[in-house]
Structure 1
């Protein structure tokens, strides 16, 4: 039996999330954070995260995806602050593409540590606390959606893909990938790696 999470009212989270977002975006190393994430694009590959975005383009989509990820991380940090460090409450369900981009952001570990220290907030990202298999449990109207809308207005529907549609798209990808030897959502890969001609 899972305990019900006690999370703060969306309007309280919204106020703190905007403060955190502003602290990140006005930090003296924010431009470097963006540049390092943008350069990480060669490593922005996965089988069932970004490819669920229609006509995904790692370079063209990067600025908007980065913005969504910064906002999402600010929401999670705000919940963490307002719950006296409750990681479980702060690990909000988020759409899969945003979750994948957060990994690119977290790869800038040293830089993020400095930004957190100067801004006096804590980033939250713990995969053992994420719901479901690799995310995708976010959905329209849920708590994450409510606090996002309260803090930042409408979601970017290109990246905020609901749970059912995420799973539908992943099943399409399952069929496509199986034909080239990629199965179990990318956990098993059996592609012949002979000499290319």
Structure 2
């Protein structure tokens, strides 16, 4: 039986409190720093690059805030429903990509979550990146913090269009399947 989703206002209230708890935690600064320093491994070909004129140095901090808000929304839905699948609400691709950088800081994030009894929800085979500006997620976000920044909260159809454009550019330099394979040959070091 499908779970009855809580109202956007209920989710917003919980998400705002969760976000405040995370930011007030003694380990928050270390978590933020570690997440933003993850940049040497941020070579995703289809997540961050869908943002127009993406620049890691300029976009990382605001996108971190959006990732944190996304995790807070998901945690709030989970707190209200107790259901992991229901909590996997639709998230925009660039925001989801940032949550991966945050989740990579496992020990810090888990300690923060444990202290505040917050369920951090993310399972790749259950995630939804089909976010739209009129979705349940968008309504919850608006109720909590106002309009989601369109630079990062891109509609799924627009992400699909941009990914197709990127794929053709990658293909032109020998990168197949958007970076999942390539035809480049590297010379062996003697």
Matched, 1:108 2:105: yes
Aligned length: 189
Hey, what's the Cα distance between the residues in 1 that align with 2:42 and 2:4?
34
SS of the residue aligned with 1:69?
Answer: helix
**2:182 is matched with which residue?**
189
**2:71 is matched with which residue?**
73
- Provide the TM-score with structure 2 as the length reference: 0.95
Match of 2:24 among 26, 40, 48: 26
- Provide the TM-score with structure 1 as the length reference: 0.91
Q: Deviations over 1:140-182 (max 9, x none)?
A: 1100101011111111111011111111111100100011222
Q: Deviations over 1:77-120 (max 9, x none)?
A: 00011002x11100111111111110100000001111001111
1:121, CA displacement in angstroms? 0.9
Conserved in 2, the CA contact under 8 Å of 1:148 and 1:155? Answer: yes
Runs of 5+ in structure 1 lacking a partner?
none
Where do residues 167-182 of structure 1 align in structure 2 (5 Å cutoff)?
167-182=160-175
Off by >4 Å, runs of 4+ in structure 1: none
SS of the residue aligned with 1:8?
Answer: coil
Where do residues 1-197 of structure 1 align in structure 2 (5 Å cutoff)?
4-84=2-82, 86-131=83-128, 135=129, 137-194=130-187
Q: Deviations over 1:62-82 (max 9, x none)?
A: 110000010110000000110
Hey, what's the Cα distance between the residues in 1 that align with 2:46 and 2:37?
21
